[in-house]
Each structure stands twice: as structure tokens, then as C-alpha cells.
Amino acid sequence: MEKLTGCIEVDLFGKEVNTLDHPEVVRFKKLLEEVANEYNCKLLSFDIDCGTVSFSFDSDELTAHILKLFQNDTQS
């Protein structure tokens, strides 16, 4: 049975940032890959659409940690 993972979507860039080869997007993807490596997991998906980045990992622990960070950020 295939394990389902959650996908995180974040409005991170302006709408004009819309390609995977945009320098800011490349830097952000590299950061996510480095974090995944620290958690001994993989970045499973990564996409950009009009400034909104969507990504997922094969680690529920890392996904939960990122969601908590976003939740804490919106509460402050």
C-alpha cells in the first residue's frame, strides 16, 4: 500500500515568479532539499504556480514541524 503524504502550499513569491528555474525558486528548493537531508528524508514534490509554492516530503515529522512553524508565525 502506498503511503499518502501531505502537500504544503505557501504564497511565497509575487505572481510574476512562475517558473521552476527562477533564481528565488531554485534557492528555495535547494533549502528544502537541505532540510530534507537533515531529517533523512526526501523532497517528493515541488512546484510553483503564480508565486505559490507547493511541496511535500516523505516524512510526516518534517511536514508537521513545518506546519507548526507556519501556525506559530501566523499567531504572532
pLDDT tens sequence across 63-76: 999 989 888 877 76
SS3 19: coil
Domain segments of the chain as ranges: 8-75
Q: What is the pTM of this model?
A: 0.85
pLDDT tens sequence across 2-60: 555 689 999 999 999 999 999 999 999 999 999 999 999 999 999 999 999 999 999 99
Q: Which residues pair with 47 in a beta bridge?
A: 54
User: What pLDDT is recorded for position 1?
Assistant: 43
Q: Which residues pair with 52 in a beta bridge?
A: 11, 49
Residue 66, all three cell numbers: 513545518
CA dist 24 and 64 (Å) reads 24
Locate all alpha helices (DSSP H) within 1-76, ordered by sequence.
Answer: 23-38, 60-75
